[in-house]
Structure 1
Amino acid sequence: MRNNLKALLALCLITLFSFQAFAQTGYRNPIIPGFNPDPSICRVGDDYYLVTSSFEYFPGLPIYHSKDLVNWEQIGHCLTRDSQLPLQKVNASGGLFAPSLRYHEGVFYVICTNVSAGGNFYCTATDPAGPWSEPIWVAIDSIDPEIFWDEDGKTYFVTQGNEGIRVTEIDIKTGKVLSPEHLVWGGIGGRFPEAPHIYKKDGFYYLLLGEGGTEYMHSATIGRSTSLFGPYESCPLNPILTHANRRGQANQIQGVGHADLVQAKDGSWWMVFLGFRVTHQWAYYHVLGRETFLAPVDWPKGGWPQVNGNGTVSLNMEVPTLPLHPFPKAPVRTEFNEEKLGFEWQYLRNPIRENYSLTERKGWMRISASPYTLDEAESVSSILRRQTQHDFTAATLLEFDSLSENEEAGITLIQNNSHHYDLLLKKSGGQYTVQLRVKVGSLSYIAGEKQVNGNKLKLKVEGNPSQYSFYCAEPDSDQYSELGRLDTRYLSTEVAGGFTGVMIGLYTSSNGKDSKAKAYFDWFDYSVKE
């Protein structure tokens, strides 16, 4: 009897572990939260890799890795050197648009457009974590490029034109254009046909597009042909993904489109795409930027792909998943004890490197003041990371060595150089003062102000879907004083424009004058409510 019980228990445990490994259900969208638009994906064996757009931020084009399509961790950036990515004086939402990530014969390719300097290019690597090559430029005037290798051994550059999608043969070693551009398909009539991806399946060339513009009318459409150059037949289900209809009109997720497809090792198909989460039911605003979402796809042999049954998605996806492989959660606190900043941190444009140090004072991030301000399209002295959820807390301990009243340092919530909220420490009348400053278009004013006892201060920001609240405290105290509360909507894309999302930054500036001021940040906390 005892042996039978042991055998039964062992069988139950095996069944339980097997169920957990192979029959897991459900995940939460977005899979990569915060400003991570234009996702493109590829699979190599059991591993999945994904890239998103980064616009004016440096390093450029974050690279993510996953084992299950649901859980992702950043493993690097494609463009980490100034020679790869010139961003000097690039306007907000300039720089890098819409990358594509592909793998071919042992080599990874990231294909992209620097709309501010150089145009279309691709970089290569044998390890997606890098290092990546210098850009190989392609002399085709367009955006949203893709590389497609056909069965005839030729390599084709696929791009967006105003009238539709174009296909051109290139030399993959040099980027040289080898043929005229062929207009192959203009989509189903939506504006801005873009984001082309081509897949060869069951004897057909399938061409996936984004249409309708990357706002509320966005969608994904698909056509197919027996020839790469068309003509392409439109899918009878088009658009295969959209929330620009009655079915999607009340969904918190809006603007879905700009998609890419991947087949998992088990044969299932999945789609990654951008979308954004709105914060008000009847007056839509979004502050987090366009994020990366995931949906299952039913794609029968010889048929058309159908996204999540009806072409819509939800925040909570109750669908079967691959066996889940979560990564450890990122720590709330950054101690600035490492030799380099984590991948989550970026700079506004190419950094002036001597303005930053993690070694001058061990355990502190030193940022030296530059004359540039957050109002300018310049290399502002700042390090920034994405706001990834509406409900969050961000805090830091700042020590500011300043001699002049034109110098300041603190935390910024920045959508672009004309829309940001700043919680800053500065001298005023010989005393240190903490200020809450608002910059919204042509309006700039001080929303809150308080004298403090010295040059060392805790600063804190708390966010929810409708408001940001700003606080300060003495360095050895957890008794925070409130400076003010500001509406999130004035940092939304609907108000500020552009293609990015809110970034949370630590910064210092001398407001147009030469300066020797230095800001030292002891730690930075970032926590979210899921």
Structure 2
Amino acid sequence: MRLPERPVISGFHPDPSVCRVGSIYYLVCSSFEYAPGVPLFRSEDLRTWQKIGHVLDRPSQLALDRAGPSGGIFAPTLRYHDGRLWMITTNFSDRDGMLLVTADDPSGPWSDPVWIDTPSGVDPDLAWDEDGTCLVTWSGVDDVGRTVIRQVPVDPVAGKVLGEPRQLWSGTGGKYPEAPHLYQIGDHWYLVVAEGGTDRGHAVTVARGPSPAGPFEPCPHNPVLTARGLDTPVQNTGHADLVRRSDGSWAMVFLGVRARGGTPHWHVLGRETFACEIVWDDDGWPRAGEPVEPPYGGRPEEHEELTAGDLPLSWVAAGGFPADVLGPDEGGVRRLTARGGSGRTFVGRRQEHFTMTARASLDLAASHGVGGLELRVDHRHAVTVEAGDGTVRAVATIGEARAVLGALSVSELAVGEPPSGEPAAGEPPSVPRVTLELRTVEPSGPSPAHIPGPDEIVAGVVGPEGFRELGRLDGRYLSTEVAGGFTGRMVGLTCARGELAVTSFTYRGTDGPEGAPAG
């Protein structure tokens, strides 16, 4: 088994589920507290994927007002059956049971949810037996509180449970057997699950039986995929889904992380989607085959700019939809409004590259609040370059600790636009505009008493004389190993009070060796 080193979908895109419609593959991922929810991708070869939208793209499908960090939408399953696409998942912060939506076209519209009142649990799967009965299989608990794989027949149109839940399998002994997926292949029904928890012990195990109800016997060479104890760039591999190609061959998508830095290593981009071939041994058991990866040489630099039109498909908001807090104004300006409550308003996109530069420009004369540009895992683990009350400051928030890394008064900043642009014709030179910048760069290196982190986060402002650093932070403090949870880094706009007038936002990222992209 040789694990892949390069993800097919980078950044915080965990818990992949895949299906094929004709010659085209479609894939969905978890989205947790962010909306729109359940990002949807399209591919012709399983190696290169294009985001085409989100399955849960409107408030009637997705309520996140009670979703804190790593709440909301957990692992989805995507299936194609009877000429229709089906997606089932849980909204952990809304109500018990599974929500099921359908679409005749993957580009939508997707239906409003049908709720299936199954016993509590996560990671629901959909399968249909030979009689056409729909089966929901999920990770729940038994009568004594142990995590097991359970199943129940349902009416997916009416959302009714048609029988008593049954226990299928408890795995091979690893903790948290979860992420079940059920397939009929030849004379057997195969059950693929994850075990070991979604960290360094994560693994994929397989069992099979004569019917979807079992009894299930474990594969003799379990786990069929794991990185535990291996010296590989990709760790935490698990939560797999199989797909059959049109030529009869099989492949598998799964999550993993690219941990960096010194021991114990930290991952910052979140759990990403990887893929590999599946080969079948003479006894009919699957094994992980060769990696399925994008081409060598790294991806080209990505440049994304926020314009006056529709938001890019990559943009989401924490705890609600972007339109709730970010709206257009005259002259291409967007207004970001503080939502209130304990968390900061945040709208942005995933950090998908190891080195990136993000910039946001604010019109301070038209702003009436405090906020700016933020790189975060959640609102308690963030680096923010914010403007307000006559000051621009770089602030690090790590749990209950909040430290100002550096600050300067607005009067110290040159007025107008940075070197990349000139003030608009006729614009009074007294209108204060400020351009904020965040970079992630390679760590500067270890000192005798310091183990290097995965990267460094550099915060500052951009003026006529170029970039002015306000402070920097070891990137380990914005890693999953420190913050916990199931997401990854996001970068975008934040507002803590009042409202901001945002004139521009840009993101540039690369995985190349040349370091942070030029601004």
Question: Which category of TM-score, normalised to the shorter sequence, fits these structures?
Answer: 0.7 to 0.9
Residues 107 and 471 of structure 1, relative CA distance in 2, 3 Å threshold: same
| Secondary structure of the corresponding residue to residue 489 of structure 1 | helix
Contact map agreement 1:336 1:365 (CA 8 A) in 2 = no
Is residue 368 from structure 1 mapped to residue 337 from structure 2 by the alignment?
yes
| Aligned match for 1:138, one of 116, 125, 133 | 116
Contact map agreement 2:5 2:234 (CA 8 A) in 1 = no
Partner of 1:411 in structure 2?
Answer: 373
| Aligned match for 1:341, one of 311, 334, 337 | 311
Is residue 438 from structure 1 mapped to residue 400 from structure 2 by the alignment?
no
| Aligned match for 1:449, one of 407, 411, 422 | 407
Is residue 124 from structure 1 mapped to residue 93 from structure 2 by the alignment?
no
TM-score, structure 1 as length reference: 0.84
What pairs up with 1:66-465 in 2 under 5 angstroms? 66-119=43-96, 120-140=98-118, 141-162=120-141, 163-245=147-229, 248=230, 250-300=231-281, 303-308=284-289, 332-338=303-309, 340-351=310-321, 353=323, 355-358=325-328, 360-372=329-341, 376-377=342-343, 380-401=344-365, 407-427=369-389, 432-452=390-410, 453=413, 455-464=432-441, 465=454
Give deviations 1:349-408, integer Å, cap 9, x for gaps. Answer: 1147464223x2343332234445xxx34xx4331100112111112222234676xx31
| Secondary structure of the corresponding residue to residue 506 of structure 2 | strand
| Secondary structure of the corresponding residue to residue 293 of structure 1 | strand
Residues 301 and 80 of structure 1, relative CA distance in 2, 3 Å threshold: farther
- Distance apart, 1:503 and its partner CA: 0.4
Percent same amino acid among aligned pairs? 38
CA RMSD of superposed structures (Å): 2.3
- Distance apart, 1:209 and its partner CA: 0.2
Partner of 2:22 in structure 1?
Answer: 45
Give deviations 1:175-229, integer Å, cap 9, x for gaps. Answer: 2000111111111111100000011112000000000011110000001111221
| Secondary structure of the corresponding residue to residue 315 of structure 2 | coil
Query: How many residue pairs end up in the alignment?
Result: 471
> What is the distance in 2 between the residues matched to 1:117 and 1:88?
8
Query: Structure 1: any 5+ residue segments left out of the alignment?
Result: 1-25, 319-327
Contact map agreement 2:66 2:94 (CA 8 A) in 1 = no
- Distance apart, 1:266 and its partner CA: 2.1
Partner of 2:477 in structure 1?
Answer: 490
Is residue 519 from structure 1 mapped to residue 498 from structure 2 by the alignment?
no
Residues 296 and 211 of structure 1, relative CA distance in 2, 3 Å threshold: same
> What is the distance in 1 between the residues matched to 2:280 and 2:64?
41
Residues 200 and 302 of structure 1, relative CA distance in 2, 3 Å threshold: farther
| Secondary structure of the corresponding residue to residue 282 of structure 1 | coil
Give deviations 1:142-169, integer Å, cap 9, x for gaps. Answer: 2110111111221111111234211211
| Secondary structure of the corresponding residue to residue 495 of structure 1 | helix
| Secondary structure of the corresponding residue to residue 114 of structure 1 | coil
